[in-house]
């Protein structure tokens, strides 16, 4: 937390300014100097047990922990002297002495602190010839998490996270001395909506996710930032994907969604709902325009939208307001919503503009909001007054454009079918295959938020812009591009967009 | 030594009861202090007496009391450290068995000086027998009004709770003791903050050894100058020196601080039995680096032993006779620290276990000189790098044994 | 199979809880009370303690497994503890231990088949001027000799 007063200190000869109350490790980090550490985490209380972050502080005889030493005016810190490097090597040697040579089969390889620090501290041979402690290597601890006690370095980040952040405290440290081990109580596994963070924060391969083990390698992953669309919080995330090698040339897959730090939104964590949301990116996707169940491969968008434009044009101008219905959703970005307003309200003069979305769920008191759409505030900011339509209101339309599958969250499939049956021209713009597909004249494949660029406004009013984190399949377009193309086809000017 | 009849441990083993204590003038000093002095004056006197903690760390008690912030709305606590577990040490057991009221009187005075109303006595779990006597003494004191509300009619009330440990040497470290008292694993805390500011239940807390607190009534009865004069070094007073091992009269001897080690062994503990000579002496509990026969003229005070590259520690003197295998002593030492490591910090958790593994291999005939070098290197890797002093407590004696008995160890392991 | 302490033990437990400003601080005395009565602390007892002190059961296990005096499985009626630290070793603790092992027919860490005595080696008991030291059922014995140990074992075996 920032204290008010700035403090000036010197780290490795560099003059650094930090707020009072900051620890030396964070102050160094902010100045671009990385001090190796395992147990420290800025989102958790200081533990001081790994002893890796020891530094020299002028005037003090012993090496001091940079994680627990608070900055003071005039302090002089040295993070790279021989004495400090010697201490780090010793801590590493201790840890490696009781660590299995699992790198070839460990999912943490490539993003493991032990590996990284060993690499930068000399790649020396271990002097340990005694038998290592043997421990359980594949303990199920809940929520698809596996614990390997041989790899564990007892940094206690996992235990502290569950005590200090979620307050659920499922993990503990049992036994004593070198026999110490992480564990759960019988029948009381990890069971909360933040369990995935344990894998993120484990500095080694002790806690791993069953659905990531043996699937890929960390060094194949492209890591790109995005914003989670699964609730109104808009947590900062990293989408980790592979495109091409080692998959087939045209294949791509998202393997993981991890937390990205954003002090204004989600701090250091994301919830499991958001993590599981990665399936949303790859699974069950529409990849081609389909007309009444006959996919039309590779049709250029203007041609694909020609039918929609024709249907709209077929309704005489003065009647459009009453006869053309549009169902939008709050997964559209602010830019897309502005486009939709320009096209449908300003351009076409439509009045039957509705919104459907995921129904609210229980907020969990931490990050997950009751709202389960990412841009409700964006909808309001765009000047819409969002309203769910009644099926009767939809049934009376002659042309209906539905963006997203969310009518299903509010009405039964049969009821929707009946309502849509009498509409002469009805089109669905959706990312995933679903029951609405067979009820419309054509389905247009749209991008998911991870494939788009745009802005969301979260429930607290924080605006977050993001760029595409994964490439969509060819043939899939963002709603923004679709709306711009449609406007173009209709000859309506809607201003600057990144139309394709 | 019984100058002025002021002893910590009464000669008569049955003189622990309240009525015997009262006949010796017991609780009079506390009455005088609580009814006529100011807390600040008491702290000043104890500071002047320069009494060093008798637990092992040797930190001046008066200075420690001075770190507690004055005033403040919340509670303050006194924790008496009776988690005596330093091998070779048994003096606190004797204080609890033979002078429990002296301890209670010392607690009263300490509580008054620092503004404390609530005290816990942390007794190691293995002292069950000892603890029963202590509880009886507390009951006696409570009945007589020396413990409880409004002692001596003043507004000082003192609660005393006896808390039992459950087998962990590390709980003798003050912050690990606090963790244990709060119902958790006995693992030390990062300092700062120090217990004087953030201690038991997050409140300012004074933690002192049993013998230290039990010495306070003497200081307040006779004054700091008298106390300083009783010692031979600049640290005042007398203290209990434990002697065990190859001596005729093992036991605890109350002597002037600074008495030479050789005098304690030969004069008070009766020297070694017929026909045995000294091979080595551990002067201050197992954590104190071993001394050779030529080093035994050292004065037994904190500074002198520090200069001799050892430490006074808990004043637990262990006399090791000729004929003892130093590999066995090394093994018992390495085994002790590996067993007692709490496991929180890397160097101690893994280093003590690693050293033990090497020593066990050496014992079963599988090693050589290079292993001894490795032990020294590992001890260096532990020293100065750990969260609490158990790191040094393990590293320093192991280093001393391997260095001072290198020849014998090499011959033993390469046979 | 659910655990409940006897009324006597419950009385000790409630009295212990009352002595601490925070409920969870009473964990060690509560575990002592349960072990004094039942000889060990079972998983069901851990759950009972957790509920009683309003803490998750895993916190109970953390403490139970940290301190060496607590037992998580039944042991002999009497736990015969023999110190093997330096002062006691110098006084012949190794020989005493060997003798006890022979007499009982078990190694340290084991329990006699009749369930009477468990033999354990321990670290310093704080009684070094009576080395070699033993402790059994909370009572210190020392200096131990083959004779005193032999009669102690007789006593323990005869104990019901």
Q: E strands within B146-304? A: 159-164, 205-209, 238-245, 251-256, 278-282
Q: In whole angstroms, give the CA distance from residue B391 to residue A90.
A: 14
Q: Which two tokens stand for residue B6?
A: 């002021």
Q: Which two tokens stand for residue A335?
A: 């830019």
Widest Cα–Cα separation across chain A: 88
CB of A302 within 8 A of CB of A280?
Answer: no
**Contact C62/A172, CB-based, under 8 Å?**
yes
Chain B partners of A131 at a C-beta cutoff of 8 Å? 357
CB of A408 within 8 A of CB of A430?
Answer: no
List all residues of chain C from 7 to 26 with a beta carbon under 8 Å from chain B. Answer: 19-22, 24-26
Q: Mind telling me how many Å the CA of C119 is from chain B's nearest CA?
A: 16
By Cβ distance, the residue of B126, B161, B250 closest to C128 is B250
Most confident listed range (A246-250, A290-294, C86-90): C86-90
Q: In whole angstroms, give the CA distance from residue B385 to residue A87.
A: 8
Q: Mind telling me how many Å the CA of C153 is from chain A's nearest CA?
A: 31
**Contact A97/B350, CB-based, under 8 Å?**
yes
| pLDDT one-digit tens code per residue, A306-324 | 999 999 999 998 999 999 9
Strand-pair partners of C35: none
Residues of chain B that touch chain A, judged by Cβ-Cβ distance less than 8 Å: 168, 185, 190, 338-347, 349-354, 357-358, 361, 374, 377, 380-381, 384-387
Q: Which two tokens stand for residue C102?
A: 């022979």
What mean pLDDT comes out for the span B291-313?
97
**Contact A131/B354, CB-based, under 8 Å?**
no
Report the neighbours of B using a cutoff of 3 or more CB pairs below 8 angstroms.
A, C
| pLDDT one-digit tens code per residue, B114-151 | 999 999 999 999 998 899 999 999 999 999 999 999 99
Helix (H) or strand (E) holding C150: helix C146-158
Q: Mind telling me how many Å the CA of A466 is from chain B's nearest CA?
A: 41
Of A230, A236, A259, nearest in space to A361 by CA:
A230
| A170 and chain B in contact, CB less than 8 A | no
Q: Mind telling me how many Å the CA of B327 is from chain A's nearest CA?
A: 18
Fold of A290-490: Rossmann fold (3.40.50)
**Contact B353/A177, CB-based, under 8 Å?**
yes
What mean pLDDT comes out for the span A259-282?
97
Q: State the pLDDT at residue A500.
A: 37
Q: State the pLDDT at residue A499.
A: 44
Q: State the pLDDT at residue C103.
A: 95
- List the alpha helices (DSSP H) in A362-478: 376-381, 391-395, 413-421
- Give φ, ψ of A11 to 5 degrees: -125, 120
pLDDT band at B1 (very low <50, low <70, confident <90, very high): very low
Q: In whole angstroms, give the CA distance from residue B340 to residue A177.
A: 7
Q: At what angle do helices B326-340 and B390-404 cross, to 10 degrees?
A: 170
- Which residues does B143 contact at the CB level (< 8 Å), separation at least 6? none
Unique residue bearing structure tokens 């430490």: B311
Q: In whole angstroms, give the CA distance from residue A285 to residue A40.
A: 41
Mean pLDDT (chain A) is 94
Tally of CB atoms within 10 A around C98: 11
Q: State the pLDDT at residue A2.
A: 55
ipTM above 0.95, yes or no: yes
Cα angle value B319/B323/B327 (rounded, 5°) = 85
Kindly state the percentage of chain A with pLDDT values over 90. Answer: 91
Q: Where in chain A is the domain with CATH 3.10.20.740?
A: 6-80
CB of B102 within 8 A of CB of B217?
Answer: yes
CB of C86 within 8 A of CB of C142?
Answer: no
Kindly state the percentage of chain C with pLDDT values over 70. Answer: 99
pLDDT band at A3 (very low <50, low <70, confident <90, very high): low
Which CA distances in Å does A191 have to A143, A187, A198, A210, B80?
6, 11, 12, 15, 41
| B314 and chain C in contact, CB less than 8 A | no
pLDDT at A202 over 60: yes
pLDDT at B4 over 70: no
CB of A489 within 8 A of CB of A309?
Answer: yes
Burial label, A45 (beta-carbon count in 10 A; 0-12, 13-18, 19+): exposed
By Cβ distance, the residue of B185, B374, B384 closest to A127 is B374
Of A448, A456, A455, nearest in space to A478 by CA:
A448
Residue of C46, C69, C124, C131 best to disrupt the B interface, most CBs of B under 10 A? C124
**Contact A130/B354, CB-based, under 8 Å?**
yes
Of B271, B262, B221, B264, nearest in space to B239 by CA:
B264
Q: In whole angstroms, give the CA distance from residue A187 to residue B410.
A: 52
What mean pLDDT comes out for the span A354-381?
97
Q: Where in chain A is the domain with CATH 3.30.70.20?
A: 94-209
By Cβ distance, the residue of C63, C86, C135 closest to B183 is C63
CB of A154 within 8 A of CB of A167?
Answer: no
By Cβ distance, the residue of B343, B351, B352 closest to A154 is B343
Can you list the domains of chain B with their CATH numbers?
Answer: 18-230 (3.40.50.11540), 238-321 (3.10.20.600), 326-406 (1.20.1440.230)
| pLDDT one-digit tens code per residue, A118-157 | 999 876 788 999 999 999 999 999 999 999 999 999 999 9
Q: In whole angstroms, give the CA distance from residue A83 to residue B30.
A: 52
Fold of A6-80: Ubiquitin-like (UB roll) (3.10.20)
Q: Mind telling me how many Å the CA of A171 is from chain C's nearest CA?
A: 7
Q: In whole angstroms, give the CA distance from residue B86 to residue B83.
A: 9
Closest residue, chain A, to B370 (C-alpha): A127
B1-5, B94-98, B166-170, B189-193: range with lowest mean pLDDT:
B1-5
Tally of CB atoms within 10 A around B75: 16
Chain C partners of B282 at a C-beta cutoff of 8 Å? 86
pLDDT band at A299 (very low <50, low <70, confident <90, very high): confident
- Give φ, ψ of C126 to 5 degrees: 75, 35
Residue of A147, A149, A174 best to disrupt the C interface, most CBs of C under 10 A? A174
Closest residue, chain A, to C42 (C-alpha): A186
DSSP per-residue codes, B67-129: TSPS--SS--EEEEEE---STT--HHHHHHHH-HHHHHHHHHHHHHHHT--EEEEEE-TT-HH
The CATH label, of 3.60.15.10, 3.30.70.20, 3.40.50.300, 3.40.190.80, for the domain at A94-209 is 3.30.70.20
Q: Mind telling me how many Å the CA of A482 is from chain B's nearest CA?
A: 58
pLDDT under 50 in chain C at which residues? Answer: none
pLDDT at B3 over 60: no
How many Å separate Cα A457 from the centre of its chain? 16
- Which residues does C58 contact at the CB level (< 8 Å), separation at least 6? A169, A170, A171, A172, A183, A184, A185, A188
**Contact B184/C84, CB-based, under 8 Å?**
no
What mean pLDDT comes out for the span A11-15?
96
Of B13, B11, B50, B235, nearest in space to B133 by CA:
B13
| B84 and chain C in contact, CB less than 8 A | yes
| C19 and chain A in contact, CB less than 8 A | no
Cα angle value A463/A469/A473 (rounded, 5°) = 125
Q: State the pLDDT at residue A498.
A: 45
Q: In whole angstroms, give the CA distance from residue B52 to residue B248.
A: 29
Q: In whole angstroms, give the CA distance from residue C113 to residue B365.
A: 34
| A95 and chain B in contact, CB less than 8 A | yes
Backbone CA torsion sign across B206, B212, B218, B219: negative
Q: State the pLDDT at residue A292.
A: 76
pLDDT at A496 over 60: no
């Amino acid at each position: 937390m920032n204290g008010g007063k700035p403090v000036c200190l010197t780290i490795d000869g560099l003059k650094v300014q930090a707020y009072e109350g900051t620890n030396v490790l964070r102050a160094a980090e902010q100045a671009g100097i990385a001090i190796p550490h395992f147990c420290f985490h800025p989102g958790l209380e200081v533990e001081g047990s790994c002893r890796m972050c020891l530094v020299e502080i002028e005037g003090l005889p012993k090496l001091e922990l940079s994680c627990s030493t608070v900055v003071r005016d005039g302090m002089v810190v040295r993070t790279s002297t021989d004495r400090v490097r010697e201490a780090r090597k010793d801590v590493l040697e201790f840890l490696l002495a009781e660590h299995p040579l699992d790198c070839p089969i460990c999912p943490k390889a490539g993003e493991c602190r032990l590996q990284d620090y060993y690499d930068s501290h000399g790649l020396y041979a271990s002097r340990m010839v005694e038998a290592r402690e043997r421990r359980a290597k594949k303990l199920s601890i809940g929520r698809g998490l596996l614990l390997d006690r041989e790899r564990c370095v007892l940094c206690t980040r996992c235990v502290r996270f569950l005590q200090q952040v979620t307050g659920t405290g499922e993990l503990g440290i049992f036994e004593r001395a070198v026999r110490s081990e992480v564990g759960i109580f019988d029948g009381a596994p990890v069971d909360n909506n933040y369990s995935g963070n344990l894998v993120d924060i484990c500095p080694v391969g002790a806690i791993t996710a069953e659905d990531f083990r043996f699937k890929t390698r960390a060094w194949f992953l492209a890591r790109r930032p995005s914003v989670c669309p699964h609730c109104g919080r808009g947590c900062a995330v990293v989408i980790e994907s592979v495109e091409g090698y080692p998959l087939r040339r045209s294949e791509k897959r998202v393997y993981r969604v991890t937390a990205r730090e954003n002090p204004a939104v989600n701090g250091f964590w994301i919830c499991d709902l958001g993590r599981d949301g990665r399936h949303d990116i790859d699974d069950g996707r529409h990849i081609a325009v389909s007309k009444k169940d006959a996919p039309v491969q590779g049709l250029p968008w203007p041609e694909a939208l020609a039918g929609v434009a024709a249907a709209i044009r077929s309704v005489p101008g003065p009647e459009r307001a009453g006869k053309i219905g549009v169902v939008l959703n709050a997964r559209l970005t602010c830019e897309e919503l502005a486009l939709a307003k320009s096209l449908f309200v300003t351009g076409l003069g439509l009045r039957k503009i509705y919104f459907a979305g995921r129904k609210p769920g229980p907020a969990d008191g931490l990050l997950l909001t009751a709202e389960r759409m990412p841009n409700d505030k964006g909808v309001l900011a765009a000047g819409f007054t969002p309203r769910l339509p009644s099926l009767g209101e939809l049934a009376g339309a002659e042309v209906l454009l539905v963006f997203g599958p969310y009518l299903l969250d509010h009405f039964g499939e049969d009821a929707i079918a009946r309502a849509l049956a009498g509409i002469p021209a009805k089109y669905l713009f959706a990312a995933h295959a679903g029951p609405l597909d067979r009820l419309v004249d054509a389905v247009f494949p749209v991008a998911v938020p991870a494939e788009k660029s745009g802005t969301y406004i979260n429930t607290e009013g924080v605006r977050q812009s993001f760029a595409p984190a994964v490439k969509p399949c060819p043939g899939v377009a963002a709603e923004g591009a679709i709306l711009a193309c449609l406007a173009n086809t209709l000859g309506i000017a809607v201003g600057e967009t990144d139309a394709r | 030594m019984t100058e002025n009849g002021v002893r910590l441990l009464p000669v008569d083993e049955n003189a622990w009861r309240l009525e015997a204590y009262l006949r010796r003038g017991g609780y009079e000093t506390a009455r005088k202090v609580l009814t006529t002095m100011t807390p600040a004056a008491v702290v000043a006197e104890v500071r002047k007496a320069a009494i060093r903690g008798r637990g092992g760390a040797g930190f001046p008690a008066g200075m420690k009391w001075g770190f507690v912030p004055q005033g403040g709305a919340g509670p303050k606590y006194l924790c008496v450290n009776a988690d005596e577990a330093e091998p070779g040490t048994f003096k606190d057991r004797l204080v609890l068995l033979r002078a429990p009221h002296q301890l209670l009187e010392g607690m009263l005075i300490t509580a008054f000086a620092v503004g404390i109303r609530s005290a816990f006595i942390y007794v190691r779990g293995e002292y069950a027998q000892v603890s029963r006597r202590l509880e009886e003494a507390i009951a006696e004191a409570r009945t007589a009004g020396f413990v409880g509300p409004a002692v001596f009619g003043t507004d000082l009330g003192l609660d005393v709770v006896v808390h039992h440990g459950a087998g962990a040497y590390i709980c003798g470290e003050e912050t690990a003791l606090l963790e244990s008292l709060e119902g958790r694993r006995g693992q030390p805390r990062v300092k700062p903050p120090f217990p004087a500011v953030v201690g038991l239940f997050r409140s300012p807390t004074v933690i002192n050894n049993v013998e230290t607190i039990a010495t306070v009534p003497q200081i307040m009865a006779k004054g700091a100058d008298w106390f300083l004069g009783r010692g031979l070094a600049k640290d005042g007073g007398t203290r209990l020196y434990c002697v065990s091992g190859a001596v005729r009269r093992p036991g605890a001897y109350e002597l002037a601080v600074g008495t030479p080690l050789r005098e304690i062994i030969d004069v008070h503990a009766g020297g070694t039995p017929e026909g045995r000579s000294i091979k080595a002496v551990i002067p201050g509990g197992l954590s104190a680096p071993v001394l050779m026969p030529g080093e035994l003229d050292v004065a037994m005070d904190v500074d002198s032993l520090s200069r001799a590259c050892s430490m006074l520690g808990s004043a637990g003197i262990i006399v090791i006779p000729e004929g003892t295998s130093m590999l066995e002593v090394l093994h018992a030492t390495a085994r002790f620290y590996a067993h007692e490591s709490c496991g929180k910090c890397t160097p101690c958790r893994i280093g003590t276990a690693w050293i033990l593994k090497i020593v066990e291999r050496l014992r079963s005939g599988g090693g050589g000189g290079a292993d001894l070098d490795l032990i020294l290197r590992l001890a260096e890797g532990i020293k100065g790098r750990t969260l609490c002093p158990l790191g040094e407590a393990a590293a320093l004696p192991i280093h001393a044994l391997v260095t001072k008995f290198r020849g014998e160890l090499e011959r033993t392991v390469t046979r | 199979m659910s655990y409940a302490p006897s009324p006597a033990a419950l009385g000790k437990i409630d009295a212990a809880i009352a002595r601490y400003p925070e409920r969870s601080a009473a964990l060690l005395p509560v575990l002592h009370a349960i072990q004094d009565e039942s000889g060990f602390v079972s998983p069901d007892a851990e759950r009972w303690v957790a509920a009683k002190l309003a803490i998750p059961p895993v916190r109970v296990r953390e403490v139970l497994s940290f301190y060496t005096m607590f037992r998580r499985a039944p042991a002999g009626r009497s736990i015969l503890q023999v110190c093997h630290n330096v002062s006691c070793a110098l006084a012949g603790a190794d020989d005493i231990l060997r003798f006890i092992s022979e007499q009982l027919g078990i190694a340290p860490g084991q329990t006699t088949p009749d369930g009477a005595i468990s033999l354990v080696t321990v670290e310093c008991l704080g009684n070094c001027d009576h080395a070699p030291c033993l402790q059994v059922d909370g009572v210190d014995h020392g200096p131990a000799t083959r004779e005193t140990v032999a009669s102690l074992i007789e006593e323990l075996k005869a104990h019901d």
